[in-house]
Structure 1
């Protein structure tokens, strides 16, 4: 073999090698062919012996090896056309390359490899009714519930650094030509695509592989929403959806039995036992089918600011929907004080600016019709907004600006208000004084019976918790609170649609100590993480800080008290060089005041710190 022929073979082999590297692929077979070509040139130079291989042979071997190199376009085109053999070949090539599934944070396998614009081969096969390809990809390890990341040509092109026309073309060529490439399919699963394509075979394969028929896309819709009626694919999805829902209901019932709502709420809400029990009882009726199914559940939370009203609504949503962020909708009603802002809530009518965007409430309810909706400070909303809410509470449905009807009878609506907060606070303080007097009377022993420590402990243990005995009287509700509510809202039918008016009472002394301790722990964590400072405190500090409680501001007054009397001193000590990284701080109570003692890294004891002398 002549030197030019060998050099030519090696040249072509190196070109193919550079091409493979530019494709971010490294195959053993391909590398072996290239190395063989290069070694042949070296052997010819050393021995100048008889030709061993021809240039055509080297190129042929290299091309055969290159045929097994992963190629994105061929992979997704094979899924689109249902070419099972090519899918196997591309997955094998990707496995040999040692690369992980692109765009998948959980580290999926080769069959879950995402396209540069966001979809997977399983989605492409399902969208084009390629049941055999769907089955093969599932056998190769594709996961059926991966969500789509294609959010429309413009958004996909921007994230991939392409022109929107290029994104449109690639979506049509490498995914599906019959779908609108400009629309967003964010959050779709392969089952959504199978339902839209009316592919019974693909739907059956996905469902048998464990696909979740209750999974929702970014718009809050399940696969069943896109299925044709009637069709075999729809019947399959309906059947499996019922099974999944029954299984979820059974699991939720077991979870509620083992971990009741009251127990969950008490972990995050300090005090407010009566409010927690009222909310939990109403939700339990609804969950177990002992409530009016034609109307949603409506609460009105009344009490001072910072008392736990908003936090209770948040924790209720977390309990009901397992931390799904879309299942908690919060609207600040102070943003709806004008008449024209009704359009912001339900959407502008046709012909007006913003008609296509829809309303804040209607968009959110369209995604999750069973969400927990919080109308914060509802007393600040315009009366026309309250008229919309009345329709929502009365019928469990809402018509948006486009004329679309949204059913939300399974939603839970929570309104918060500071109306009558002063009256409720004073009534709560009176109830606490009466409860403490009853507790002291029950703990007091008869005069003819000698008092011992054992008998006193026994009497106290038999006395009920004063928090559990607090109950707002019916007289106070009807003659004090209701007139205030009626005077403000001006309509009985609005108040009549409220299932439960929940009263939040001021904190007891023990609850204030708990709040102070929680706040100090929060600042101790910050001090340790940000400044490497250890923060500790004596028991008397809790009582001194609890004295700063303001019944009108609730837990926020405790936060401000800790910042003013503790954090300010620590910040001043750090500024003046008396406190650095690695130091320890001990909070001391001296005559109702909070003082600091500092332990430097080299010391073992705390030294009181006089900030005025520093």
Structure 2
């Protein structure tokens, strides 16, 4: 008769540890659920305003805000209602919220404000409306410090970049890590904007938190992979640097 293999007893301390971890995880999930739904669970006015904004009901938005609803409330996904209206392309809700006093500098979960979000849209009317309403072209992202120019550049939206610069946005802006628009433009190979940012006053000697300028990224790509325009931009930048006696960091 075959013997039955004995099973080693599970150490008591491990059982206790598992129970403690399970309870902690359960508590964390409960707290997270509460924080995610708190605005709407505890504030019926915010919930009603969110529904009205989602429906694009400008009249109801105005009525609710007149009755005391917070125009800076967030939807169930945590986006400020003003930003949610931009994402939906709902100009009526956007305008109603803006006229009711919605704060264009309120950050979403990723730190972007309505100005940052508008800077990425193909429809420039949102950005124009925010700037005309007094929003700063240099409004910082509440998480990483990037200004809307960084977002417009990431989206390669030339019109919005021009709008922001015309509104006084700083070409020498940096994010929370010291990276400049030149760093970003070089990293995404937006060579034409490297030229234009330099001409607009960006500092070519600025270094990010690891101590490098925009040049290593800008000059890294081999000529064989560059378009004719990019090659021309590279030579323009090289000549620009040389003319100002700034060392060219071209390792090719």
| TM-score, L = length of structure 2 | 0.51
1:114 to 140, 158, 169: 140
Decide which of 139, 145, 149 is 2:172's aligned counterpart.
145
Q: Which residue of 2 aligns with 1:93?
A: 133
**Correspondences of 1:69-468 after superposition (within 5 Å):** 69-72=102-105, 73-95=113-135, 110-117=136-143, 118-149=145-176, 186-227=177-218, 228-230=221-223, 231=226, 232=230, 233-245=233-245
- 1:9 to partner: Cα distance: 9.0
Pairs aligned (count):
154
Offset at 1:82?
4.9
Alpha-carbon spacing, 1:245–1:135, altered in 2? closer, same or farther (3 Å): farther
Taking the aligned partners of 2:94 and 2:151, their CA distance within structure 1 comes to 28
Q: Distance in 2 between matches of 1:74 and 1:10?
A: 19
How far apart are 1:194 and its partner, in Å?
0.8
Structure whose alpha-carbon radius of gyration is higher: 1
Answer yes or no: is the 8 Å Cα contact 2:61–2:96 preserved in 1: no
* Structure number having the greater strand percentage: 1
**CA–CA distance in 2 between the matches of 1:245 and 1:92?**
40
Q: Equivalents in 2 of 1:92, 1:241: separation in Å?
A: 36
2:235 and 2:123 map into 1 onto residues whose CA distance is 28
Distance in 2, matches of 1:113 and 1:75, equals 7
Aligned to 2:84: none
Corresponding residue number in structure 2 for 1:4: none
Checking the alignment, whether the CA contact within 8 Å between 1:134 and 1:205 is kept in structure 2 is no
What is the alpha-carbon root mean square deviation over aligned residues?
3.3
- The residue that corresponds to 1:66 in the other structure is 97
1:198–1:77 Cα change, 3 Å:
same
Structure-2 separation of matches of 1:203 and 1:67:
34
8 A Cα contact 1:78 1:86, kept in partner: yes
Give the Cα separation in 2 of the matches to 1:20 and 1:94.
Answer: 17
- Distance (whole Å) between structure 2 residues aligned to residue 64 and residue 238 of structure 1: 45
8 Å Cα contact 1:112-1:143 kept in structure 2: yes
The corresponding residue for 2:26 is: none
Question: Structure 1, unaligned stretches of length 5 or more?
Answer: 1-7, 24-60, 96-109, 150-185, 249-406, 408-614
Q: TM-score, normalised by structure 1?
A: 0.23
Q: State the alpha-carbon separation in 2 of the partners of residues 81 and 240 from structure 1.
A: 32
Q: Which one of the candidate residues 20, 28, 40 is aligned to 2:71? A: 20
